[in-house]
Amino acid sequence: MAILTTPTTAELASFVAAYPLEPLEKFRGIEAGTVNTSFELELELEREREGRRRRWFLRIYEEQDAAGAVREAAVLAHLAAHGLPTPAPIAARDGATMRLLAGKPAAIFPWVDGEMLCQRAVTVDAAAAVGAALARIHVAGHAPTAPLDAGRFDPAHLVTRCERVASSSDPEARALAGSLRDAMIRIAASRRYDVPRGLIHGDLFRDNVLWSDDTSATGTGTCSSIAALLDFESAHDGPFAYDLAVTILAWSYGSKLDTDLAAAIVRGYRSVRELEAGDREVLYDEAIFAALRFTITRITDDAIRVGKRWQRFVERREAIERLGRHGFLEALGL
């Protein structure tokens, strides 16, 4: 992703000076993600020592407003207090966790060393660890100081968003606009809300999990060493089954749906939080909804520019539908 906001060196130096940190020495833009602008900051510190870090992560929120950025900070602190590896933004000298930079909300986070796994590197053990981490988020619950809404991407919003699909510059996407809208209308009319719900991540893709060095691509590490869970910007109140479905779609699909990985995610999840009857009853439907949601949003966001193919979620939906409700649950070991 391109760097959407480019503050000057003077602006960045002034921003860092508002925090109890050493002066800014240098910075670089990070070409990652699909929504926000990110920078690696290096400070004037000869070597890291206890309590003092040389490297920090700066996020400029491109879509989130100031209240949303503050809410995310509270969620991260709440989860960290429950033992989850969720780096929270540091407070400035005035106590604020969010400040404006180039007219947009921005925050500084501790830099976390780690690697993101490519799909080929995802092992059964890694999948189980991700499932367990997701369940720990759900068990931790809401942060008392961060009331959450129901999220931006409910079925009604996505039905409206299909109008943008119909006017897409991509002819293949335009051809699907009607069928996507019809499918989302059906979901809007039938989606159940009387199921277990609470704080959900909503976007736990592979690029939102960092692994420590002892979890290698060969799978010879412990695969329990998740260094950090990232990007809770999409966190909201929602069905746990939806969050689990998103994670299954994100981590168990390469050229096809890998049911071994999908089942491992569910096993890991259940090792922390057992699925209730309501979770099981809607998991298939939530997986279809999740596939549709990401198809629509990737068409209408910057999927082409950032090289993320929306067609991959059409393929995911088709793979789930081929299995059918019973076959999907059976493949997950349910």
Ordered by start, the domain boundaries in the chain are: 9-110, 119-331
What residue has token string 């999990």?
Answer: 209
For range 101-130, the mean pLDDT: 95
Q: What is the pLDDT of residue 112?
A: 93
Q: What is the pLDDT of residue 218?
A: 42
Whole-Å CA distances, 100 to 76, 88, 264 = 20, 17, 42
Rounded to 10 deg, the angle between the 259-270 and 240-251 helix axes is 140
Q: What is the pLDDT of residue 51?
A: 56
Cα separation, 303 vs 171, in Å, equals 14
Whether pLDDT at 302 is above 80: no
Dmax of the chain from CA atoms? 60
Closest to 236 (Cα-Cα) out of 75, 82, 98: 75
Q: Quickly list H helices, 82-123.
A: none
For range 55-80, the mean pLDDT: 93
Cα separation, 138 vs 272, in Å, equals 10
| Helix, strand, or coil (residue 207) | helix
For range 263-292, the mean pLDDT: 98
Q: What is the pLDDT of residue 303?
A: 45
User: DSSP letter at 112?
Assistant: -
Q: What is the pLDDT of residue 36?
A: 86
| Helix, strand, or coil (residue 38) | strand
User: DSSP letter at 145?
Assistant: T
Instruction: Pick the range with the lowest mean pLDDT from 47-61, 75-89, 238-252.
Output: 47-61
Neighbours of 100 (CB within 10 A): 11
Higher pLDDT, 48 or 273: 273
State whether the Cα torsion 225-286-157-304 is positive or negative: positive
Q: What is the pLDDT of residue 220?
A: 47
What residue has token string 């921005």?
Answer: 106
Q: What are phi and psi of 238, to 5 degrees?
A: -165, 175
Higher pLDDT, 227 or 44: 227
| CA angle, residues 109, 65, 202, in degrees to nearest 5 | 70
Cα separation, 54 vs 178, in Å, equals 52
The secondary element (H helix, E strand) that includes residue 57 is strand 55-60
The secondary element (H helix, E strand) that includes residue 178 is helix 171-190
pLDDT tens-digit map of 185-195: 999 899 999 99
pLDDT tens-digit map of 211-234: 997 644 444 444 458 999 999 988
Q: Model confidence at 309, in pLDDT bands (50, 70, 90)?
A: confident
| CA angle, residues 290, 114, 123, in degrees to nearest 5 | 55
Cα separation, 75 vs 94, in Å, equals 20
Residues above pLDDT 70, as percent of the chain = 91
Whether pLDDT at 128 is above 90: yes
User: Are the C-beta atoms of 251 and 127 separated by less than 8 Å?
Assistant: yes
Residues above pLDDT 90, as percent of the chain = 79
Residue 325 has which token pair?
Answer: 């409700």
Q: What is the pLDDT of residue 3?
A: 78
Whole-Å CA distances, 244 to 17, 25, 141, 240, 284 = 41, 42, 15, 6, 11
Fold of the 119-331 domain: Aminoglycoside 3'-phosphotransferase; Chain: A, domain 2 (3.90.1200)
Whether pLDDT at 158 is above 60: yes
Q: What is the pLDDT of residue 140?
A: 96
Q: What is the pLDDT of residue 289?
A: 97
For range 226-255, the mean pLDDT: 96
Residue 47 has which token pair?
Answer: 């070597």
Q: What is the pLDDT of residue 35?
A: 76
* Averaged confidence pLDDT in the chain: 91
Instruction: Pick the range with the lowest mean pLDDT from 52-61, 136-145, 178-187, 213-222.
Output: 213-222
User: DSSP letter at 163?
Assistant: H
Q: What is the pLDDT of residue 191?
A: 94
For range 101-109, the mean pLDDT: 96
> The domain at 9-110 falls in which architecture?
2-Layer Sandwich (3.30)
